[in-house]
Chain A
């Protein structure tokens, strides 16, 4: 599990301290909090945007979603949310999957899924904005 060799003078505690189950320190933990703080106002804004579009026809939805302030809020929301959910699912996988191969398969799938979802959303928002 750790890189400890029989001749190492490092103690087992020293090898694992501050690394956690992700073996990469507290960066992911911090970014999870950072994106969560950003997500609070962004989610409220997106809920307001969605509710203002309820029952409207396609042309009206395209016009409002493509307007500059709405598109920027949507893009910020997608960036922050996709990063947050990518980190969150990584924690869930690391917590419950102890089979190394399956863990890596799912960690990779998590990244692929998050990238695909984020890119599709960003592409759609930009297309609505630029009217291509």
Chain B
């Protein structure tokens, strides 16, 4: 009896997972929010490196500046910028939901689209301003 029950429990399908759902924008933005959160968790090492290098001295700071001049450094920083902005906008979206607003079908879609488009536009704008501050593309 117990054995039969155990084998039945083992083979019975449990809660349906991601692969059976049709991908939707709201779902993708939810997944991306978690991925960007995990990326930022490790990305903070870049910020800590910057602070520690500044505190350590000119040589350590020069090493950081050298890395940031490379294409890999630029790519990492660009990804970090986008992840930060996307996670922040996604977070604001979650705070709106926490307050009890924005659950309608149109509002959900609009918020998801705004998170995606807003994060891309703001990231590019920040980088344009960044290059302007640095005096043109180098």
Contacts and interface: CB of A to CB of B under 8 A. Distances in A.
B61 A61 contact: yes
**B interface, over-half SS:** helix
B133 A43 contact: no
Interface in A52-88: 52, 54-55, 58-59, 61-62, 65, 74, 81-82, 85, 88
Nearest to A120: B48
B51 A74 contact: yes
Nearest to A82: B44
B95 A33 contact: yes
B54 A117 contact: no
B48 A54 contact: no
Given A47-B126, A55-B134, A85-B40, A120 B88 contact: no
A89 B41 contact: yes
B84 interface: yes
A28 interface: no
A127 B55 contact: yes
B88 to A, nearest CB: 6
Given A33-B95, A54-B130, A117-B45, A65 B38 contact: no
Interface of A: 33, 36-37, 39-40, 43, 47, 51-52, 54-55, 58-59, 61-62, 65, 74, 81-82, 85, 88-89, 92, 117, 120-121, 123-125, 127-128
Given A121-B48, A121-B52, 20 more contacts: A39-B91, A40-B92, A47-B84, A58-B54, A58-B57, A58-B58, A58-B61, A62-B55, A74-B51, A81-B44, A82-B44, A85-B41, A88-B37, A88-B38, A92-B37, A92-B38, A117-B44, A120-B52, A124-B54, A125-B51
Interface of B: 34, 37-38, 40-41, 44-45, 47-48, 51-52, 54-58, 61-62, 84, 88, 91-92, 94-95, 98, 126, 129-130, 133-135
